[in-house]
Every structure is written in C-alpha cells, then in structure tokens.
C-alpha cells in the first residue's frame, strides 16, 4: 500500500499477452478463440472475444431486472463501467460513476447493490475518513471504491468542509500518477500513498462539481406506476451476479495489454473523453452492437450534463444570455451597458432581475465583476450617430463564447479583434 504509485498503466505480472482478436467498432467481434492463458495464480483461461458482447448483454439484463433505469443509455453506461473496473490496471484515467437522484426512493441504492456485486475488488463504505481510504488502495491492484449516502458528506457547507480531504482524494484518484504524501512512523518519514482507483458514489442531489466533471452521471428517477422490477435479496440473488463478475474477469483479464494500447475514436473531447475512454475500449473489445451503443451513450449523456452545467453555472449562464441579447437586436457590433442590463433584467425567468437580492437587478458593477475572469471589460464607446456611452463590443465575446458555451449547430464563429475603445477609457 505504501509503494509509489506507477505513472503508467501496468500489465499484470502473470500475463504474457497473446494479442487476442479485438472487435472493430460497429462490427461483430471475431469468433476466433484466443490462446488460453493461465498464470501461476491459477487465472481462468481466456474466453473468446465474441463472448464479451454476450457477457455485457447478460449484465445489462441483470441491471434492468432489479432497477428501473432512467434510459437505455444509462444501462449501457453502467454495464460498461462495471466491466471497466476489471481492467483498472490498463487505464490512464479511472472514471467515477455518480448515481444521483432528486429525492429518496429513486433506486440509487439498489443500483449500487447490483454494481457492488459485479465490480472488481469492491471496497464499500457509507462514511470513511481519507486516511482509511488511502490505506485501502493498493497501487498495484486498485479496488473499486463504492460510497453510498454520499450526500451526507457534501450536502451542507459544514459537512463539505469536514470532508474536503476526501473530495480531494476522489478527484486526485481520477488520474494515474497522482499520489498523496503523508508523514508517518516514529521517524516522521514521508510516504507516498496511491490514490488511483475507480469509484462509484450514490446520493441525493448533485455531488460537488469537481466530482461530477470526472464522472459518468446516472440521474435516477422514481419508478412510475407501470414500471415493475424484481425484488433483490442478497442471499438469493447475488450468486447470479457473482457468476457474471467471474465471467467478466475471465474475459477481460487476458486483455490488459491490448486494452492498454488502444486509443479508440471518441465522440467527445478533453476530460469527457478521458472519463469515457475506458468504457468505449471495453465496448470495442466486446464487439457486436456495443461499440455503437457506447458512443451513442457517451455523446448523449455528455451533452445532457453540459446543458446541466450551463444552467447551474452563473457565469456561463451570463455568457449565454448576453449572446441572446445581442442576437435579439440583430447582432450589432456594439451594445451599451444600459441596454444590455435592460435585456438581462427583463428576463423574469433568469437569475438577473433579483440578483444578490436587489430590486434593481443586475447592476453595472456586478456585471463587470462577473465578466472580469474572462478579461472582458466595459469601456467608453462611440455609437452610430456620434453618441458616446459605456458598453461592450460583440467581438469581445466571440472567443469566450466559443470556449465556454459554443452555440449548437455550425462551427463557432472565429474570434476577431475587438473594436478599439476610445483612448484612455478602458475600465
């Protein structure tokens, strides 16, 4: 547990990879059987690559048997995430699975029950200290961390402050090679502790933004009257789930080398691609319909969360609303601060009319403060007709819009040089 964490994905010592056949995305996997691989620890023989799709199908069926999932894409994502835990040593990033719901009785704990019985090397807790988690993570063979009632750790300011170290640990563990340092022992030696491990967290309400940004997000909902699921009994129902877990291990364990080398085409970019890549790799290894299903789920679920973030982030919402204000009057080159604020405050469904509890709505000062991180300032402008007033040039926003809230559809408009302010008038 105290060995330095490896900086790159590792190949198990007992695997001499025969490079088994791998499915081409969107095409059925080959039916050829790879050579058997049994290491000194008695690992099971490799299964045909074509059997991977059937294992994932069976796992999906078990999930749907016990849980009313919000969408087919969500079922696909959970099945692939569970399978990906069995190849953790191959990944550069360890995606989180955020199982969230607006209220109780939405099935999040039941879904976590099914996940718990099918992942690799489960480590489940309701409330644990950062120190306990650190000492439970083996850098050579990471466990799968499972946290229920995660909302109790982050729901209030006081709770979030108390568990800030846990949040930092969960964030750091998303990427390989991010160990934490601790002083321990009578000699006060500095030791490295591994943090890299896949993790699933279930709770009411959204988790902290930094966790959600590193997660495949499953938004559960309460079961409707016509939706029926089977009851779950640990003693009766876990053997079938354990059988699927062993089938996943038998299929995926010999494929570490191949998975580690793969760089699949992704429908998303940046951190979303880092988070979803292990799931897409597993889908490509399985073949059949899974490569297409994985990419469809990745695209639609990421797009949805992007929309959620835009609604929740005040500055991004402001950028979107300013773009709408320009568009509403024909995208002029200049817009005065007064007219811009009138447009923003006129939207009674937006947050600006009552911003900061003021009956005056958003003011020039607060508008300036919100835009300051983007380097956008109001300056004295000369408007058509010769009138002068403080305001903004549309060109000031083009690069920021393209980076933080790109318009759907055609490619974002390229940034242009901003209209020059009058001399010595920059705020």
The H or E element that residue 249 is part of is: helix 234-252
Global model pTM greater than 0.75: no
Report the alpha-carbon distance of residue 53 to residue 152 in Å, rounded.
37
Pairing of the two strands 180-184 and 189-193: antiparallel
Q: Which domains does the chain have, with CATH numbers?
A: 51-311 (3.40.50), 314-404 (1.10.10)
| Polymer length in residues for the chain | 427
> To the nearest whole percent, how much of the chain has pLDDT over 90?
54
User: Using only C-alpha atoms, what is the Rg of the chain?
Assistant: 26
Quick check: 408 pLDDT over 90?
Answer: no
pLDDT bracket for residue 92 (50, 70, 90): very high
Q: What is the mean pLDDT of residues 349-374?
A: 87
Task: Give the per-residue pLDDT at 309.
Answer: 59
Quick check: 393 pLDDT over 50?
Answer: yes
Q: What is the pLDDT of residues 271-322, one digit of tens each?
A: 999 999 999 999 999 999 999 999 999 999 998 887 665 544 788 889 999 9
- What is the separation of C-alpha 46 from the centre of its chain, rounded to a whole number of angstroms? 31
CA neighbours closer than 13 Å in the CB half-sphere of residue 47: 18
Q: Which of 140, 195, 194 is nearest to 14 (CA)?
A: 140
Contact 147, 126 (CB under 8 A): yes
Task: Give the per-residue pLDDT at 150.
Answer: 87
Contact 279, 268 (CB under 8 A): no
Q: In what order do the strands lie in the sheet with 199-204?
A: 122-125, 144-147, 199-204, 96-101, 215-219
HEC-encoded secondary structure of 65-98? HHCCCCCHHHHHHHHHHHHHHHHHHHCCECCEEE
Q: What is the mean pLDDT of residues 162-175?
A: 86
Report the alpha-carbon distance of residue 335 to residue 361 in Å, rounded.
18
Q: What is the pLDDT of residues 94-142, one digit of tens each?
A: 999 999 998 888 999 999 999 999 999 999 887 777 777 877 888 788 9
Q: Which of 31-35, 43-47, 297-301, 358-362 has the lowest mean pLDDT?
A: 31-35
- 269 burial level (CB within 10 Å; 0-12, 13-18, 19+): exposed
> To the nearest whole percent, how much of the chain has pLDDT over 70?
82
Report the alpha-carbon distance of residue 363 to residue 350 in Å, rounded.
15
Bridge partners (DSSP) listed for residue 380: 390
Q: What is the pLDDT of residues 202-243, one digit of tens each?
A: 999 888 888 999 999 999 998 888 889 999 999 999 999 999
Helix, strand or coil for residue 194? coil
Tokens of 327: 């568009």
Quick check: 160 pLDDT over 80?
Answer: no
Quick check: 363 pLDDT over 70?
Answer: yes
Main-chain phi, psi angles of 299, to 5 degrees: -65, -50
Main-chain phi, psi angles of 21, to 5 degrees: -65, 145
């Amino acid at each position: 547990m105290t060995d330095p964490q490896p900086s790159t994905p590792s190949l198990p010592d007992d695997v001499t990879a025969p490079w088994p056949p791998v499915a081409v995305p969107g095409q059925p996997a080959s039916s050829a059987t790879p050579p058997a691989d049994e290491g000194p620890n008695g690992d099971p023989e490799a299964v045909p690559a074509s059997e991977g799709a059937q294992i994932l199908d069976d796992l999906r069926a078990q999930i749907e048997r016990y849980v009313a999932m919000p969408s087919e894409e969500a079922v696909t994502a959970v099945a692939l995430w569970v399978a990906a835990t069995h190849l953790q040593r191959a990944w550069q990033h360890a995606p989180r699975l955020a199982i969230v719901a607006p209220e109780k009785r939405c099935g999040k704990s039941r879904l976590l029950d099914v996940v718990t019985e099918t992942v690799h090397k489960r480590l489940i807790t309701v409330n644990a200290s950062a120190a306990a988690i650190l000492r439970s993570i083996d850098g050579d063979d990471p466990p799968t961390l499972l946290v229920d009632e995660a909302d109790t750790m982050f729901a209030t300011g006081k709770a979030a402050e108390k568990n800030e170290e846990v949040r930092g640990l969960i964030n750091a563990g998303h990427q390989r090679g991010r160990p934490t340092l601790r002083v321990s022992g009578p000699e006060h030696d500095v030791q490295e502790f591994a943090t890299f491990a896949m993790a699933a967290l279930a709770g009411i309400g959204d988790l902290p933004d930094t966790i959600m940004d590193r997660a495949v997000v499953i938004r559960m909902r309460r079961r409707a009257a016509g939706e029926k699921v089977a009851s779950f009994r640990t003693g009766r129902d876990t053997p079938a789930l354990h059988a699927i877990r062993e089938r996943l291990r038998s299929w995926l364990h010999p494929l570490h080398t191949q998975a580690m080398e793969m760089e699949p085409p992704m429908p998303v970019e940046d951190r979303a691609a880092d988070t979803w890549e292990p799931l897409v790799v597993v889908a490509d290894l399985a073949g059949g319909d899974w490569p297409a299903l994985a990419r469809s789920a990745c695209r639609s679920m990421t797009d949805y969360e992007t929309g959620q973030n835009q609604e929740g982030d005040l500055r991004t919402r402001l950028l979107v609303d300013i773009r709408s204000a320009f568009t509403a009057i024909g995208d002029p080159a200049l817009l005065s601060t007064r007219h811009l604020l009138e447009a923003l405050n006129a939207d009674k469904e937006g947050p600006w009319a009552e911003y900061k509890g003021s009956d005056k709505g958003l003011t020039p000062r607060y508008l300036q403060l919100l835009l300051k991180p983007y380097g956008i300032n109001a300056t004295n402008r000369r408007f058509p007709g010769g009138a002068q007033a403080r305001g903004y040039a549309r060109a000031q926003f083009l690069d920021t819009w393209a980076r933080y809230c790109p318009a759907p559809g055609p490619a974002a408009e390229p940034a242009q040089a901003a209209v020059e302010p009058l001399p010595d008038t920059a705020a």
